[in-house]
């Protein structure tokens, strides 16, 4: 993906961007730190970029995914730290958050819809760590397909909401 001069000017005007070229974006350390802190609390990477003015349609979903993967690795942050309940309460019903798949009895090669909606890279191969050799099987590719479809549905729903909002104005 290559950025136009106008896009570069726009990107460099954002507080989250330290520098931009036709092929690269350098984010400020403050933005990276804030993103990781909010990500740990359950915010989605794409949503965080949107809030900073970094529309995924401009920067690209893959760039967002790769940025978060690098930042998580640098700061040793798990890929799926927490997921809020759909009603704003924790999935345990107590108003808190629950860790995703940290229990040894949990099946690590499946995902649920909430997990899929909160992470673009649900089945990152680096996150699959079997506890013994007999469990060393690859995640089911159907789960990845479902995660991608859920992500696309989310994109389309946001786009529809934007169009309806513009139309109503």
Residues 56 and 1 in one domain: yes
- 7 is in which domain, residue-wise? 1-77
d(CA 1, CA 134): 41
Residue 166's contacts (CB-CB under 8 Å, 6 or more residues apart) are none
Structure tokens at 110: 């499946």
Structure token pair of residue 162:
């934007």
Judge whether 84 lies within some domain.
Answer: no
**Is the Cβ–Cβ distance between 116 and 150 less than 8 Å?**
yes
Structural contact between residues 54 and 14, judged by C-beta atoms closer than 8 angstroms? yes
Same domain, 122 and 65: no
Residue 133, CB-side half-sphere exposure with 13 Å CA sphere: 0
122 and 71 in a common domain: no
What would the pLDDT profile of 28-70 be if each residue is shown by its tens digit?
A: 999 999 998 898 888 889 999 999 999 999 999 999 999 988 9
Is 64 in the same domain as 9?
yes
Q: 68 and 128 in one domain?
A: no
Residues 4 and 49 in one domain: yes
Element (H, E) at 121: none
pLDDT at 26: 95
Is 92 part of any domain? no
Domain membership of residue 6 (yes or no) is yes
Domain assignment present for 161:
yes
Q: Which two tokens stand for residue 26?
A: 């350098």
pLDDT less than 50: residues of the chain: 81-136
Give the integer Cα–Cα distance in Å for 29 and 36.
11
Position 86 scores a pLDDT of 41
Q: Residue 96: inside a domain, yes or no?
A: no
Question: What's the total number of domains in the chain?
Answer: 2
Nearest to 28 by CA among 50, 40, 11: 11
Say whether both 71 and 111 belong to one domain.
Answer: no
Q: Report the pLDDT value the prediction gives residue 141, as an integer from 0 to 100.
A: 72
Task: Tell me whether residue 169 is in a domain.
Answer: yes
Residues 109 and 169 in one domain: yes
């Amino acid at each position: 993906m290559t950025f136009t001069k106008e896009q570069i000017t726009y990107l460099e005007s954002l507080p989250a961007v330290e520098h931009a070229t036709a092929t690269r974006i350098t984010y400020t350390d403050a933005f990276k730190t804030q993103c990781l802190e909010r990500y740990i609390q359950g915010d989605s990477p794409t949503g965080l970029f949107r809030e900073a003015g970094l529309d995924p349609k401009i920067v690209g979903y893959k760039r967002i995914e790769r940025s978060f993967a690098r930042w998580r690795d640098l700061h040793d942050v798990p890929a799926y730290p927490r997921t809020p309940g759909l009603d704003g309460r924790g999935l345990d019903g107590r108003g808190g958050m629950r860790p995703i798949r940290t229990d040894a009895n949990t099946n690590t090669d499946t995902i649920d819809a909430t997990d899929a909606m909160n992470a673009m890279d649900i089945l990152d191969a680096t996150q699959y760590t079997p506890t013994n050799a007999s469990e060393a099987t690859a995640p089911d590719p159907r789960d990845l397909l479902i995660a991608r479809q859920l992500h696309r549905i989310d994109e389309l729903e946001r786009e529809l909401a934007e169009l309806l909002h513009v139309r109503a104005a």
